[in-house]
Each structure stands twice: as C-alpha cells, then as structure tokens.
Structure 1
Amino acid sequence: MAAAGLDAQALLAPLERFTKVGLAVSGGADSLALLLLAQRHEAALGHPGRYTVYTVDHRLRPEAADEVAMVLAVAAARRLPARGLVWTGPKPATGVSAAARAARYELIHAAMREDGCEALATAHHLGDQAETVMMRMAHGSGLEGLRGMDRDTVIDGLRIVRPLLHVDPEALRALVRDEGLVPAADPSNADTDYERVRWRQMLPQLAALGLDAQRITTFARRAGEAEAALTAEAERARALVTPIDPLGVSVLRRDLSLLPKAVATRLVSKLLRDVGGAQRPHGLSAVERLVERLGQGTFRTTLNGCVVSAGPVTIRIRPEPARRSPPRRSTKEPLRS
C-alpha cells in the first residue's frame, strides 16, 4: 500500500463516535503517521481540538527527552494539542519493557482523564498483528489468543482503539517520509533479546514461503470469528452448571461428556477463572488435560486456585481452602499488561 492510498477519513472513521481522542505517539514512524492521519481527519471533519497527542519519556534512554521534544514540535506545527509525560522514580531491574508499557498507559490515562479524552488511539499495524499472532501460536495459545490484538478493547478502564491494524507499515513509513519527517529510532526495536524482534526478523522468511503478514492477519480474523462462536456455545452450556456452597459449582459428568471437546474445555476454563478468583490461569494445555481426565475416572486435583473433585456422577469445582475468603480490593488501580 502506497502512502497516497492512505485515506485518513476511512481509516479513522471508527474514532468518530468519540468527541475527544488521545493519540499515543512515541516518535517512531508508525505513531508519527497516526499523528499525520489524525491531523488530516480533524481538518476534514472541521472539528479542531478533537485529537490530543500524548508522548512519554520513560527516562530509560538519554535520547528520549529529545524524541519527546520532536513529537511536541511536530504536533505544534500541525496545531494539535500535545502533552509530554515523564515516568519518574526507580525502574525495575527486570521486566523493564512490561513495566514501561504499564507506566506509559497509566500516565496517558491519567492525562486523558484531565483532558476529557474518551479513547486512546494507537498505531499498531499489520506487522504488529502478525508478530502477535505468531508469538501466541508459539506459546500454544488457543483461539482466544490467536485472534490477535482487538481493534477496540478496554484495559483497566482505558479504551484503546487500533484503527491501523490492517495497514501495511511501509505505507505508514512512506507517509512520514513524504512529509519530510525523520522518525525516532529506538534501538530496542533491533534487540533480539526481545521475542517480538526475533519474530519481526523472521517474517520476511515466512513471507517468502507464502505466509506473509496479510495471510497471518486473515487467519487471526477467522480465529476471532471461530472464537466468538465458541464463546457463545460455552455460554449456552453454562445452563448445565449448578451453584454449590457459597462459591463452588458442579456439573454432571454425563452432561460435560456430551459437549464437543472445545466447548467443554472453554466451559471448564471459564469456571476455573470464576471460582478461582484472581489467580493467574494455567495455559490452555493444562485445562485440556484436565477435561480429558474428567472423562476417564474419579479423582481430585487442584488447578488455577480451585479444587476439582470428579466423582462417579458429579464434577465439583470449589476454591482452594486458603482462597475461600475473597481478597480485599485494593484502592489502587492495577498495572496494565
């Protein structure tokens, strides 16, 4: 897709249901292209002040301050309001990338609330989606993960919209070049210590075999459609579940055995999450193995903070004894992932 083929009004139409929208702009080519498209969209709608640019200095690289200043200058030249934010305080020794992402969204979300912005647009594109799907496939994800990133999602109260998910990143880079802008270059984007970078470098080889980013994202769309159908079937199957005790549930072994395996697995996974509370769920394969065991005999085991008791007739799922009391809610907003 050439830069000339990027229609700002068509691409950003999903954002028109919001009165004010934040733009996450790091200074890289992709996010600068989002800024440029937003300026064109705003001009076409005749609605100045619709978009506000947010850019963050994580204080992890000395160049970051200059990159923030560049973003603010580009936004000012296009008459878009912009705010530079700073992640202050000590940084973790490990998991820096995830912590920086969480801090970025927290800082932007707080600023958006002050500015009255209802949603945050990000510049995730076709390549990002393909990388995400391949990473999740390598990790053994089911349909829920293989559908890739959602175009519209809510994370800890922050609505995130990704209007460029189907756009070729080269078209975004061409748009930035055509405007005479020089994007920031984050060295972490070439650091093969990061799994995403390794997949990014592998994609051209996959494309040479016919598995390009477009085919991967088409697969993700189809996986999402199948996921929606599976979710609907699992919700209907909840009619087979009976509450027991204050927090537990039960289902007849025969009823569970008559469900298609994928539906039974999704139902059991959902019950484990509901009963186990805020426990970090095991991978899909662990739940699949449990469902297979549930059809083979009587036993008792634990998974995802639950005690699963499979009797001759009834399967019962209860919280582990130490987890029966629901944890007190924190008044602090949790970190985003």
Structure 2
Amino acid sequence: MYTPSQLWRGFRRGVQQPSFFGQELNRLYNRRLYRREYNTDGVDVMTEDWDNLIILDACRYDLFSAQQECSGTLERRESRGSHTVEFLMGNFSGRTMTDTVYVTASPQLHRWNDRIDATFHDVINVWKHDWDDTHRTVLPRTMTDYGRRVAAQYPNKRLIVHYMQPHYPFIESPEINVGNRLDGTDKTDIWGQLRNGDTNVSPSEIWEAYRDNLDRVLPAVQELVTTVSGRSVITSDHGNMFGERSRPIPIAEWGHPPGTYTEELVTVPWQIVSASERRDIRSEQPRSSSNRFTPNADLRPDDNAVTIDRLQALGYQE
C-alpha cells in the first residue's frame, strides 16, 4: 500500500518519465492488482536443505554462472522477489526461525521488520557498526569475518550470511554514482537515468562495474564456505536488469524494481556446496541482543536517520 507522499512522487515521476507508467502497469499485473506482496512462484528458501545460506545481493544467474569458480553443483531457482524487501517478505514474513541466525550487510530487515515480523534466534546487523565510510557499504571481507565468528559462536544454528555485493555501490568504480530518491526530491538514480538516456555513463561501464563487484565478493564467499561446517548454498535475493524488456508492457528496465518478475530478476543461482559433516541444528529462545559482535548494536529511536542514510548510500528508494 502506498502512502499519499509516495503516490504524489509517483505521479510527478510519471509526468516527467512516461516509462514509469508502463513500469507501474507491469507491477500491477505481476502482483495481481497488489493482491500478493511477492512472487508466490518462487522458492521458499527456509524449507530447502542447507546449514549455511549465502546471499549475494542483486546477483544475476547468468553472471554468477560465468564468473564463479566455487566447488559444488550450480542449479537455478526462482526467487520470491525482484527486490530485497519482497525476498524478505516472501521467505521470512511472520515466521519464527529460532534455529537460524541472520547475519546481514543490508538494513532492509531492520527498516521493515515491523511489517515483516520475522523472529530469528539472533540477527547480526553488520551494517550498523562495521560500515565502510569510504565505500559507503559493508565490504565482502567484513562479512566473511562475521560469518566465521558467528558460525563458531552458534555451532548448532542454521546460518544466513547476506553480503551486499554485487549490489551497488560499485567498489572498484566509485565515480559511478547511483543517487537516490529517498529524500523526497525528484533526483533520478542511475537506473532511471539509463532508462531515460540522461547519463553519460554507458551501459557497458555499468555492467563492468557490476561484474567487478561480483568478482570482489566471490573470493570472500569461497573462503567462508570452506571454513564453516555443514552444507552451504550460495544464492541471491534477486537479479538486476540491464535494458532487457519487461512484461507485459515491453519497456526497457534497469536495476531491480519490485513487482517485476522477469527472468533477469527472479532467476537466481543456487550453488550447492556439500559437506561430509552436517551441523546438529537446534531451536532455542531468541537472543535479546548481539552486543558481543557489534557493541551498542541496537539503534536508538532517534537514530533512524542512520538507517535511512545507509539505505540511500546503497541506492534504495521508497
């Protein structure tokens, strides 16, 4: 459900960018006139067989298949979302998962948890206190370090490690600025600029920066899966579009807009890395805090600006 301010911003965008109306019509079609909040045809990741679920944010299947050198078996899955919030809603909403610890570089669960209402044994919000101010994201090495530490702390829990890459910001290409519309202005992000032909950055430069982000994160993921016990799966919450046509209105899309269930966005990798020894998974009462990993981890109510600022840095819009 949209707020009045979001509807007003959407109307202004539609006047300035006619393709926005086509995008919204596609969203209405895919979400069945908003009767569903996510792609109900996608896989329920919590019912799959894994001890460690490694999420690469915004990773396309085709690029992962071309770039990855991890051991194991690569399969395809259909995601429940074309956007992180849809993925979280589709897989975690209303669930009690006290056998699982979620370690995340993304602020999205924290931002929307009142709506998602997910209960894990523990949530480690790495983005709160190990944020890299230079690159304006959480770096892959940081996530691997947390994954190893949390796996050692919780040897009897399933582990979800949500890396930010290959999602923007582009670590090797900081000059490419996505921008955002979270602040309520009419600024257009790089995906909108590409859609409207309003940027001097070429699509090939964006693709190379996106590929470089994946190349940056893959060695860190490989290190994690080879140092933690149990069966691991490497996957993504959604993909990313680079000018391919959406449906049923055939407009060229960029980025990963919600409610857009194209192959480029919902076909995700599912790399299975088997293990000779599985973990003995047990449910326990949720932990009240994660201070042993991130001191003073819980943001105060007046620190909501920190969450918004970091979502802006990641190129998100509401």
> Which structure shows the bigger proportion of residues in helix conformation?
1
Question: Larger Rg: 1 or 2?
Answer: 1
Larger RCO: 1 or 2 (CA < 8 Å, sep 6+): 2
